[in-house]
Amino acid sequence: MTPEQLSAAIRAALQSAVDAGDLSITVPAEVRVERPRNRDHGDWSTNIALQLAKGAGIPPRDLATALATHLASVTGVQSVDVAGPGFLNITLEAASAGELARAIVEAGPTFGHGTTEAGRVVNLEFISANPTGPLHIGHTRWAALGDAMRRLLVAAGAQVAAEYYINDAGAQMDKFGASVLARAKGQEPPEDGYPGAYVADRAAEVLAQRPDLLELDEADAAVLARDLGYVAQLAAIQRTLDGFGVHFDVWFSERGLHDGGAVEQAVARLREQGHVFDHEGAVWLRTTDFGDDKDRVLIRADGTPTYFAADAAYYLSKKDRGFDEKIYLLGADHHGYINRLKAIAACAGDDPEHNIEVKIGQLVSIAGERMGKRLGNAIYMDELLEWIGSDAVRYSLARYPADSPLSLDGEELRKQTNDNPVFYVQYAHARTANVARLAAEDGVHRDGGFDAGLLTDPTEAALLAALGDFPRVVAQAAHLLEPHRVARYLEELAGRYHKWYDTCRVRPMSVDEEVTDLHRSRLWLNDATRQVLANGLDLLGVSAPERM
């Protein structure tokens, strides 16, 4: 019995109690079941009696007792106990609990997916680095977290567009162009330019496209170096992200906002809403009406728009494109953006508590042998992936909350030991694959038979309990935008699998031992674990290796 099936059974029992006159309630559309922290309290628990008691006009324990009577007669339910103020602890029959293994295998990659976030239309913006240099470790954290959040929301039924905001307007682009042109001339970049070695690579790419670059007058050459260098640098960023398994649905240009008149249109629209005012020759947005610490300038007195004006135009663009919810993932130095972005939403007539969410990521540092050979503490994403590997980087960054400062040891992440969490989980998956291969060699196949009632070992009950909890973990992680919940779940699941592996045999002990339904049923459980491990790793953008 899956959690969904048990939830439906509880609703049916509630309806039965109503029909019998034992309860006078409105049966809810959904009943949540959860794993009790103490396994002695049964397989599943629900607090539905506490939720319905007030409306029913009776004490929660009385309602729970009435419900327990009807639920105890449900096929597959072994016992129902009323605990505390009115909790129901439910123990399933072994056969009913074991059926979960078959349900997982048959569901395949979709097990754990659900509809808890169905109806949400989300624009998820993350990374959004300036196209003036390579992505660094800070961007890497947002890439790992943002893509995992996207995968989780989609798995929970939401419609999501991943978006990269290209900061390709402003003085930094001119400085980048000047740096590229200087390198093309064989010179050092300007004092306020970009000194990185990558600029020489961009210069070489620009010269390959336009060998006549240095024959142009200085102004035209600077513009051409800027524009071609920008395209080349953005392509390099996209290649890096492809190597990290992160893909965006939309690459949105800030320059396009300015060139298309969107900034001016945004100011006019906000003025119509009644929140724009003029002061000392500048155009302002009265964001203090909505919790910001000060009003913000949209257009300076000299007529040039501010970055804040572009932010406002960008928000309205997302709204116009039909995104009810806009989620921004910003770096640790962007705390001040929270109130101002929410104020933009409010000034645009939206609900800042629903239509916009701003998450701030904390700093991440990394130590190890490779870092010891570098000058300073900066490390680019390409170097990080070459050194440690995409899987270890993604998993390690996803297993911690975004708002926690993070320090990692690169050499530790490279080790293939159980102390390395990503190796521990991936090894569990590889072990399930190996068990299935060896079982097939011994003539153990799933299609030979399945008797869920044979899965009675305590390690099997614990493993099934963990497997059954996966859909709840996914739903919660998606709703809270917290991928680390999936990572920590996978580590617990891997631990329970390893204990089961040490106790229960899938293969016959000897060539003389007959293959029975116990072997086959355990193979179903092995393969169910394999599927959940693979599904969970995929939600984090991490591979599930067959061999290690």
pLDDT (tens digit per residue) in 489-534: 999 999 999 999 999 999 998 888 999 999 999 999 999 999 999 9
Percent of the chain scored above 90 by pLDDT?
74
pLDDT digits (tens, 9 = 90+) for 353-375: 999 999 988 877 777 555 444 33
Out of 94-98, 291-295, 467-471, least confident range: 94-98
Residue 44 has pLDDT above 70, yes or no: yes
For residue 449, what pLDDT is reported? 85
Residue 301 or 333, more confident: 301
Q: Is CATH 1.10.730.10 correct for 418-539?
A: yes
Residue 405's pLDDT band (boundaries 50, 70, 90)? Answer: confident
> Of 531, 544, 536, nearest to 391 (Cα)?
544
3-state helix, strand, coil in the chain (%, to 5): 55, 10, 35
The first and second tokens of residue 58, run together, are 């009776």
Q: In degrees, to the nearest 5, what angle opens at C-alpha 519 toward C-alphas 517 and 524?
A: 90
How far lies 501's CA from each of 40, 95, 355, 434, 523, in Å? 22, 20, 47, 12, 11
Fold entry, domain 126-256+362-414: Rossmann fold (3.40.50)
Coil, strand or helix at 42: coil
For strand 276-279 and strand 250-253, is the pairing parallel, antiparallel, or unpaired? unpaired
Q: Quick one: pLDDT at residue 410? A: 81
Q: Using pLDDT thresholds of 50, 70 and 90, give the confidence band for residue 13.
A: very high
Greater model confidence, 362 or 114: 114
Domain borders along the chain are 3-92, 126-256+362-414, 418-539
- What pLDDT, on the 0 to 100 scale, is given for residue 319? 97
Q: Does residue 367 or residue 89 have the better pLDDT?
A: 89
Two tokens, residue 253: 């240009």
Question: Which of the two residues, 363 and 545, has the higher pLDDT score?
Answer: 545
pLDDT at site 335? 79
User: What are the tens digits of pLDDT across the range 311-321?
Assistant: 999 999 999 99
pLDDT digits over 210-253, tens only? 999 999 999 999 999 999 999 999 999 999 999 999 999 999 99
Q: Looking at residue 372, what is its pLDDT?
A: 45
CATH superfamily, region 3-92:
Arginyl tRNA synthetase N-terminal domain (3.30.1360.70)
Section 291-307 average pLDDT: 92
Reported pTM? 0.88
Q: Span 325-332, mean pLDDT?
A: 92
DSSP helix/strand/coil, 483:
coil
Q: How far is CA 335 from the centre of its chain?
A: 21
